[in-house]
Amino acid sequence: MTEAFDAVDLIVAKRDRRELTTAEIDWLVDAFTRGYVADEQMSAWAMAVLLNGMTRSEIRDLTLAMIASGERMNFDRLSKRTADKHSTGGVGDKITLPLAPLVAAFGVAVPQLSGRGLGHTGGTLDKLESIPGWRADVAPDAMLAQLEDVGAVICAAGAGLAPADKRLYALRDTTGTVEAIPLIASSIMSKKIAEGTSALVLDVKFGEGAFMKDLDRARELARTMVDLGRDAGVATSALLTDMSIPLGLTIGNALEVREAVEVLAGGGPADVVELTVELARAMVASVGMADADPAAALADGRAMDVWRRMISAQGGDPDAPLPTGRETHVVTADASGILTEQHALPFGIAAWRLGAGRARQQDPVSAGAGIELHAKPGDAVTEGQPLFTLHTDEESRLPRALEALEGAWSIGDTAPAARPLIADRIS
């Protein structure tokens, strides 16, 4: 057939900062999905976008074209309103685990389509798969039934959602164009809009351990995604949260599940509880329940009840012992004073090297590997006191993990200035 446009013309257009039309973007995504536009041509176009950006209408058109490349989910058969959350990822970010059952405790359906970890950021599915018997794959009809009955599902997204984005992301990951804000925004939002939820809350992280290091760029990304959601008729808001230090006291799959259960039981680290509750408030408010009190649902056990039912519905045993690493190594304080620094990125890399993460998507992960923190910045420590414990299944992994942690923390005389966990809200 005769093609409506030429890929080289569209590459040159973005190189020269010309705004593409809706028809041009629709053709580009469709032709790329069909294989007519070659990988190297799409990579060149993505680099032009990284360097020159896109207008709001171009980003909207790209997102809609990504959605049109595949299937769309529909939750109209449910008797409940739906709300979802997306995090841009960080170190120790296990918030989805307590958040989904907490929001479901208020009668909201939470269809949480999650992914796996890559590099220093952990994946929700990897964490939950440390629970014996738990299954990530849930058929569409079974998902609807579980949402109606239990209220929450955390599962893998089907291959039919925005397949064009999956192909483009694979190219971006190998061509240095992952950081392009228009492409990040359209990638995330094409899948979330195709998912069919009526409300979405975004946890956009910034800081050393986050994908976006700079607060202003994280704010730009958040605003872009909120605009995309609103343009598509999805009630969308965002929280910008600090990922300069690890979130909570655990990094790694089974370790983070254990901590999530502690939060559901009414305990857990203060920062994990704070972010879980604030995201829950935003989610229930987005479906018209602004007076709901998520903190109370953690305290009285309602969220824990939903968690147990959710895990059981997907084949997991909520009472089964969680895996543990076969080897441990404790790092102690070399002086007395105040823990002043605890850099998130080195801790994420160290947990990855211990076996908690993967370098390639097909690599296996160790359920018991990771890091357990015994102190956070601002805490007083004494010489010889344990600062953190490394967990791994292979002793040979310890030296490289310890190498990643050199200079990752410091002890001084003065407590660091307090930093708010939530830096901004876009709603």
Which residues lie below 8 Å from residue 247, measured CB to CB, with a gap of 6+?
90, 91, 92, 93, 94, 95, 271, 272, 275
Are the C-beta atoms of 410 and 335 separated by less than 8 Å? no
Nearest to 48 by CA among 21, 22, 6, 16: 16
Which residues lie below 8 Å from residue 266, measured CB to CB, with a gap of 6+?
298, 299, 301
Are the C-beta atoms of 279 and 100 separated by less than 8 Å? no
Residues with a known catalytic role? 86, 165, 172, 187, 191
Q: How far is CA 71 from CA 61, 107, 192, 194, 196, in A?
A: 17, 27, 12, 7, 10
Task: Report the helix count and the strand count for the chain, using DSSP H and E.
Answer: 16, 13
Q: Rounded distance, CA 267 to CA 114, Å?
A: 25
Q: How are beta strands 380-381 and 337-342 bridged, if at all? A: antiparallel
Q: Rounded distance, CA 114 to CA 125, Å?
A: 6
DSSP label at 151?
S
Neighbour tally for 219: CB within 10 Å? 18
| Residue type (1 letter), 78 | L
Q: Rounded distance, CA 285 to CA 236, Å?
A: 11
What phi and psi values does residue 251 have, to the nearest 5 degrees? -135, 115
Q: Rounded distance, CA 134 to CA 297, Å?
A: 24
Q: Rounded distance, CA 361 to CA 90, Å?
A: 17
| Rg, Å, the chain Cα set | 22
The DSSP line for 339-376 is EEEE-HHHHHHHHIIIIIS-SSTT----TT-EEEES--
Tell the burial category of 96 from Cβ atoms under 10 Å away from its Cβ (0-12, 13-18, 19+).
buried
Q: Rounded distance, CA 287 to CA 209, Å?
A: 31
